[in-house]
Amino acid sequence: MSNKIKRTKIVATIGPASKNSSTLNQLIQAGADIFRFNLKHNAILWHGKIIDRARKVAKQQGKPIQILIDLPNSSFRKGIDLAVDKNVEHIALSHIKQSEEVAEFRQIAEKVKLSANIIVKIETKEALNYFPAILNEADAVMVARGDLGETIPIEKVPFVQKELILACKKAGKMVIVATEMFLSMVSAKEPTRAEVSDVANAVLDESDVVMLSEETAIGQYPVEAVKIMEKIIHEAKSWQRLGHLEIFSAKNKKFKFGL
């Protein structure tokens, strides 16, 4: 059984608090697998410079790091040039509402020979309404709970998260759970107990990746956030290996979000 349980990966968003070589090095050592660059903040040249720095640090460690570029809206679609130039592994699309938008972006990516995985951020009610078609076009999905919670009743977000994870598992596509996982660690040395439970439950639900945003981009304790997240992942996976949890089957699961 233990051989079948994959380790959940960690995305660390890079920003002013984590841009220097020393912190990037520590983040990798702490367990970060993917560095996210959000083009909503800072200039394209800034991101390009730090991506190069991250690649160099990772190479020195002998642990290749993957790069995720986050395009915040349609006007930022032009980041595709940066993605091609830096040969990034993942590119995330924001505010997608229909599958045609993903297909259109994929055509552009193919023209410029961008091989990155296309991640669709699910952050609106409209995206949920057309989710099966969107999932079919996407390579991966990000459950963007912050924005999603502003477009659907907040009490439904945890259950929509579970539905999305199950749908992605059934389709064999990567799913990332994101937003406010350790928000308190922007200014605190430890997460709240509720935040610890949140991360553990995302892992137990078999999300492929969990993501840190402000915590590592502008927080006071970016390395500590990754270290604690890695410990929670290890504990949750150990609990699974001991057979304490029967994972829900995604077989024949229908797309019903109770909206």
pLDDT at 190: 96
Pairing of strands 34-38, 9-13: parallel
DSSP code at position 7: P
pLDDT-derived band at 1, boundaries 50, 70, 90 = very low
Q: What band does 22 get if pLDDT is binned at 50, 70 and 90?
A: very high
Phi, psi of 211 (to 5 degrees): -125, 140
pLDDT reading at 28 higher than 50: yes
CA gap 209, 197 in Å, rounded: 16
H/E element, 222: helix 222-241
Place of tokens 């057309």: 130
Domains of the chain: 2-241 (3.20.20.60)
Structure tokens at 43: 């200039």
**71 DSSP β-pair partners:** 93
| pLDDT tens figures, 191-207 | 999 999 999 999 999 99
Q: What is the pLDDT of residue 2?
A: 39
Averaged pLDDT, 151-158: 93
* Band of residue 251 on the pLDDT scale cut at 50, 70, 90: low
